Amino acid sequence: MRDMRIFMSLTACLTCAFLIACGGGSGSSTPPNTITSSGSNVAPIVVNGGPTGEYADAAFASVTVCVPGTSNCQTIDDVLVDTGSFGLRILSSALTTVSLPQQKASDGNPVAECLTFLASYTWGPVQTADVQIAGEKASSVPIQVLSDTDFTAPSTCTSSGFQSADTLDTLGANGILGVGLAAQDCANPCPADADQYYECPSSGCEPIAEALGQQVINPVALFAADNNGVIVELPAVAAGGEPTVSGSLVFGIGTQSNNGLGGATVYTAPEGSFTTSYNGQSYPGSFLDSGSNGYFFLDSSLTGLTSCANNSDEAGFYCSSQNFTATNQGGNAASGAVKFSITSAATLFANPGNFALGDLGGTSSNSAPFYFDWGLPFFFGRNVFVAIVGASTPGGAGPYWAY
């Protein structure tokens, strides 16, 4: 039986990026959302278990990387679409036919990055590539190449206690396409005490300040057009899940006839998050994250759900079922109720052929402060807009989510 019991919440620290820098129970919309199928700004995405055939609730796209200014290119399939992080990260093991130039610090030493997510971290050199997705292209983009062997990760990177996500086995994808609310993934500049960027002489890697233009960047922000955000479009899924669903990643908001806001409500996220209210309590710091493979929210004492046993294959998820209603509110005071359902992970995982699960969920934290991580199940049956900070759109300047 294929194991698809992977708890991999990949959202990076959104508040760091903004504050330092300045279903079945899918809750589907009515009528059903329209999936844009064609256009130079449209990339197909699929939820299908990924390259290992065991990653539930993960959406994948293909990305082409080229040696800058050349036609020496490679297309990387099965790259995770993540609205909770910023920048392109590719497994070193997936780069089999191109060798990208290494970014170097002012003294000539190679530059590497450590990025900590909610349940893992990535480590590896910063390199430069031309990036093409569908008909969109960005030139000379700093990306992170994930590798535990190019340079030894310093203790300041590994001390989180999280697992490295630098291999196919641990990541479950060939890379991460971070198309979230920010352009760069740190401050201007990223300070040395952020322990995020490093220069790596032979004596070992040491933290450095990294200028904004050298940081790993959301490639959408560098497109010549359609560069103010993205739309993630996925159909609703049946109760209990489906083997696979296909949708689209659409670039731009209000820049072409196929990416208008329509009737979507804009929820501004001035600090990279908004507020979710449930059962009379408000939870600021909540967010929409296609890189998380479930609804992750609160704990058993607040939801009434039973957590799966820590020593079980379903650890981290909820193992009972219930319907919920919560309310999201943006910084602009726009608000709207969200109805969603949780089905026991043990029940869902009993069918290992289903990888699109609209009602999978788990705990967001073991202690306060709690938040709602609206993972991929939230995206099923919705067109979710992600506007980049500072970018002009018909719905106002980013950052915001809209749906």
Q: What is the chain's pLDDT, residue by residue, as a tens digit (403 residues)?
A: 233 333 344 444 333 343 323 233 344 445 789 999 999 999 999 999 999 999 999 999 999 999 999 999 999 999 999 999 999 999 999 999 999 999 999 999 999 999 998 889 999 999 999 999 999 999 999 999 999 999 999 999 998 888 999 999 999 999 999 999 999 999 899 999 999 999 999 999 999 999 999 999 999 999 999 999 999 999 999 999 999 999 999 999 999 999 999 999 999 999 999 999 999 999 999 999 999 999 999 999 999 999 999 888 899 999 999 999 999 999 999 999 999 999 999 999 999 999 999 999 999 977 788 999 999 999 999 999 999 999 999 999 999 999 9
Q: What is the pLDDT of residue 29?
A: 44
In a 3-state reduction of DSSP, which class is residue 234? Answer: strand
Answer whether 0.95 is exceeded by the pTM.
no
Q: Which of 115, 31, 125, 134 is nearest to 75 (CA)?
A: 134
Q: Measured between alpha carbons, how far is residue 149 from residues 117, 167, 230, 382 in Å?
A: 20, 11, 34, 40
Q: C-alpha 267: how far from its chain's center?
A: 18
Structure tokens given for 42: 């449209």
Domain locations in the chain as residue ranges: 14-32+40-222, 260-402
DSSP state of 35: P
- What CATH number has the domain spanning 14-32+40-222? 2.40.70
Q: What is the pLDDT of residue 371?
A: 96
β-strands 163-164, 120-133 pairing: parallel
Q: Measured between alpha carbons, how far is residue 316 from residues 125, 237, 344 in Å?
A: 31, 22, 12
Q: Cis omega (within 30 of 0) on the bond before 51? A: no
Q: What is the pLDDT of residue 30?
A: 54
Q: CA-CA distance, 12 to 289, in Å (whole number)? A: 10
